[in-house]
Amino acid sequence: MLKRIEVADVQLGMFIHKVEGSWLKHPFWRSRFLLTDADMLSDLRASEVEGVLIDISKGADVRPKASTVTPLRRPLVTSAQAPSLAGAIERARRDRQDAAAARTRASNVVSFDPRSTAPLGTAREIDNARNVLAKASRLLSAVFEQARLGKAISRGQVEPVIEDLFASVQRNPHAFNGLMRIRRENSSLYAHGLAVSALMIALGRQIGLPEQQVKDAGMAGLLMDVGMGHLPIDVSTILDDLSESEREIVHTHTTLGQEFLNLGGELPAEVMQVCLEHHERYDGTGYPRGLAGEEISLFARMAAICDVYDSMTSDRPHRPRTDPNAALAIMRGMEGQFDERLLDQFIESVGVYPIGSVVRLSTGRLALVVDQNPDDYTRPRVWAFYDVGSRRIIKPEDLDLSLCRGRVEIISGDDAEGYDIPNFPQLREMVFNSACKTLI
């Protein structure tokens, strides 16, 4: 039996038969499901949906509101009411059993260790990555503000961030970086530092550096642009078409950063060297010293790749982001700019189609890459969300391309910007979040 109820009346244990309105208004890709997850209930109540249809033959009914008047005597139950009463008693019994089982499961859950490096799937690690990001953002916003005011940065201030990032990348090399590609707000100086740090850790891990060097590489990526806070101009207003004098000023952030980090006296020399050299280019066309080839330190050659990739794939005040897959193709074409061996390893670390990429499928649909297939990076897991032929958004379709050989293939990377999809950044984030909840 179906019953329409307001979202405010939805409770755990109800069977959702239909969610009213467009799927864009709610975070669920399924229209029919038994609601047992408290987070899903919170998401539903926070959505724009006004009502749902519940099937009370498959789940709980609306609980009657407590009466404010105490009856003088208990009313008799008629024979016509008996079947519904029996059903209510049975549902109450099942609810009690479900609640007891949930308490048992909760009592057996071991609290998560944020420094654990035990492998986790991308969807499971995403929530941990969000916690790492939130914690690190709070810490780094204060550290970068202090640095802007001239207070030296100590190793102890940033090491907890590096330890958390290192553990997250060890658990899953794609989750944190995938999260940073999906986020709509990713343009602050410390957010860029966090993203580059995670990319540096993943690349260091990929090329087989010892653990401490991997962490130092992450610290270098985190702090390489600290000199930006000491420029005499507001970097948030900087555009691509700088005047020559503005360009010269911006270039000084490399030397300013190295000199500032040196004040603390605690950071590894390799970390401070990256501040100075991350804009050097393999063919000698970079700055500030025009170094070439292996004259540039290993960490700085790594940072050059990670810095450009994150800058291209993040929104900036003067330009929209580039799709991750397209960014890799562009970087491939920048001959002489990067150490090609490291660039090959970098692409291996993020995947041929990085999480957050938009790809065009042989079915004529656009899909978002939501997970990697470690056995074949050319066949990731995707969620199709847009039909190119009809030029309309569709209900997301989960496709593991490693299981779709011959039926669905990636034709090419694509750019959703070319299809005038309304509110695409919001849609991308919604599809990705729904995928993560479903794939856990």
Q: What is the pLDDT of residues 219-265, one digit of tens each?
A: 999 999 999 988 887 766 555 667 888 889 999 999 999 999 998 88
What pLDDT score does 114 carry? 76
As separate numbers, helices (DSSP H) first and strands (DSSP E) second, the chain gives 14, 9
Ordered strands of the 392-400 beta sheet? 392-400, 381-387, 365-371, 358-361, 410-414
Nearest to 58 by CA among 30, 35, 83: 35
Instruction: Measure the CA–CA gap between 71 and 253, rounded to whole angstroms.
Output: 77
SS3 content of the chain, % helix, strand, coil (to 5): 50, 10, 40
Counted residue by residue, the chain has a size of: 440
Nearest to 122 by CA among 420, 384, 383: 383
Does residue 383 sit in helix, strand or coil? strand
Nearest to 220 by CA among 273, 161, 283: 273
What torsion do the CA atoms of 399, 405, 407, 408 make, to the nearest 10 degrees? 50
What pLDDT score does 102 carry? 52
Alpha carbon distances (Å) from 51 to 18, 20, 250: 9, 6, 54
What pLDDT score does 133 carry? 93
What pLDDT score does 104 carry? 45
Instruction: Measure the CA–CA gap between 44 and 3, rounded to whole angstroms.
Output: 17
Instruction: Measure the CA–CA gap between 374 and 356, rounded to whole angstroms.
Output: 16
Inter-residue contact 328 to 354 (CB < 8 Å): yes
Inter-residue contact 22 to 428 (CB < 8 Å): no
What pLDDT score does 357 carry? 95
- Indicate the DSSP class of residue 417: G
Ranges of the chain with pLDDT below 50:
66-83, 103-110
Nearest to 401 by CA among 346, 434, 356, 360: 360
**Parallel, antiparallel or unpaired: strands 51-55 and 2-6:** antiparallel
What pLDDT score does 429 carry? 92
Exposure class string for 35-62: b at 16+ Cβ within 10 A, else e: beeeebbebbeebebebbbbbbeebbbe
Does residue 387 sit in helix, strand or coil? strand
Inter-residue contact 42 to 94 (CB < 8 Å): no
pTM for the full predicted model: 0.76
Inter-residue contact 136 to 197 (CB < 8 Å): no
What pLDDT score does 69 carry? 41
What pLDDT score does 72 carry? 39
What pLDDT score does 28 carry? 62
Instruction: Measure the CA–CA gap between 285 and 283, rounded to whole angstroms.
Output: 6
Beta-carbon contacts of residue 4 (< 8 Å; ≥ 6 apart): 51, 52, 53, 54
Does residue 3 sit in helix, strand or coil? strand
Does residue 157 sit in helix, strand or coil? helix
